[in-house]
Structure 1
Amino acid sequence: MNKLEPQFKIRKATYEDIDILAVFSLAVIKEGDGISIPSEHVKPGIEAVLKDETKGFYLVATEQDNSSPIGCLMITFEWSDVNNGFYWWIQSVYVDPEWRRMGVYSALHNHIVNLAKSSKNVSRIKLYVHETNTRAQTTYRTMGMSEAPHKIFEFYL
C-alpha cells in the first residue's frame, strides 16, 4: 500500500452495522466495567441514534479492502451558550483488540476533527474516560487532547 494512501476507511455507520455496533458496545462495557449484559439491552439505544441524527451519529473504521468494521465511535452533541457552538462528545469508542495500536483510533479521531472543523459551529471536541484507563488517556493526549478541569457528576433516574 502506498504510504500516502490511508490505511483505513472511515464512514458513517448504517442500520446494517447495528449487530457489530452492539458487539462493540458490549465489549466496551465488559472491558470497562467488567460486566456482561445481553445485546438486547444496547440495541435499542444504538438503533435510536442510527434512526435520528439529532441524537448523534456513529462512525466505523474498516480496512481499505474490507467493509467489516474494526472500530467505531459515537458522537453526541451538547450546546454551549457561552461559546455559541456545539461540543461534540466522543463516546462508545471501541477498536477490535487485533487492531489496537495500529492507528484505527487515530484515523477515527482525525476524521472527527476534520468534520468538526468543516461544520463551523463546533467549538470543542470532548470525551470522558475512566480514571484507571491510562492507556486510553495516553492515546487521547497523543491526539492533542488535554485534561479538562471538570468532574462529571451523575444522578440516576
Structure 2
Amino acid sequence: MTLNLTSRTLAQEDLDSICAFVRDAEEVFLVSPKFHYPLTAEQILKVLENRYSPTVIVSGDAPEPLAYANLYDKDEESDTIWLGNVIVSPSYRGTGVAAYLIQTMMDTAKQEHGVRTMKLYCHNTNTRALLFYCKQGFNPCGYKVLVKPDGEKLVGIAMQKEL
C-alpha cells in the first residue's frame, strides 16, 4: 500500500475518527492514563488545554486522520519536550504511518518549539511500541509507576532522543 502522507493541525471534525481508533479500555490507557474508555472528543479537548501542536496524519486528499499525537511539558532549561497521546488507526498500524507521525512530531518539536530533546513514556506492557520507539532512535532514560483503573501497577518507561 503506497500512502502519500502529510500532516496538518487537528480539526474538530477529526475527533470522532480519532476516538474510534481506540478499541478497548486497555488501548485507551496506553494512549493516556488520564483517558477512560470509551475515548471521547471531550477527553481529547480537555487534555489539549495544556498541550502543543495537536497533529494528524492524512493520506493524499482524503480528510480522514490516520494517526494523531501532540506535545507537552516544554522545558526551556533542558531544551526538552514530551510526546503524548500517540494513536494510530488500527487499519494503518505497521504501514509506516506511525514512523511518519513520530518524524513529523520531532520536526515540529525542533523547528517550532526550538528544543533539542524529545521524551516520551511507553508502558512496559506495550512491547510492540517499545520496539518501535527503539527503532526510531529513542533510548530508555527513566521510569514512573502507573496505576491502572483496576489498581494494577505497571511501569511507564521514559525514553528520549536527541533531535
Fold similarity call, TM over 0.5: yes
CA–CA distance in structure 1, aligned partners of residues 5 and 42 of structure 2: 28
Q: TM-score, normalised by structure 1?
A: 0.74
2:135 pairs with 1:142:
yes
Tell me how far apart the structure 2 counterparts of residues 118 and 78 of structure 1 sit (CA, whole Å): 13
- 1:23 is matched with 20
Give SS of 1:102's match. coil
TM-superposition CA deviations, 1:91-142 (whole Å, max 9, x none): 2211122211111011111111211221363131111111021111111111
The answer to whether the 8 Å contact 1:9/1:61 transfers is yes
How far apart in 2 are the matches of 1:139 and 1:123? 21
Cα distance in 2 for residues equivalent to 1:76 and 1:17: 20
RMSD of aligned residue pairs (Cα, Å): 3.0
Partner of 1:125: 118
Q: Does 1:8 align with 2:35?
A: no
| 8 A Cα contact 2:24 2:37, kept in partner | no
Q: Which amino acid aligns with 1:88?
A: I
Q: Which has the larger radius of gyration?
A: 1
Q: Deviations over 1:31-57 (max 9, x none)?
A: 3659x7244xx433322355x5x5323
- Structure 1 stretches lacking a partner, 5+ long: none
**2:70 and 2:63 mapped to 1: Cα distance?**
18
Question: Is the 8 Å Cα contact of residues 28 and 37 (structure 2) preserved in structure 1?
Answer: no
What does residue 72 of structure 2 align with? 76
Give the Å deviation of 1:80.
5.0
Runs of 4+ in 1 over 6 A off after TM superposition: none
Give unpaired runs (5+ residues) of structure 2: 31-35, 148-163
**Corresponding residue for residue 108 of structure 2:** 115
Task: Note if 1:105 corresponds to 2:98.
Answer: yes
Scaled by the length of structure 2, the TM-score of the pair is 0.72
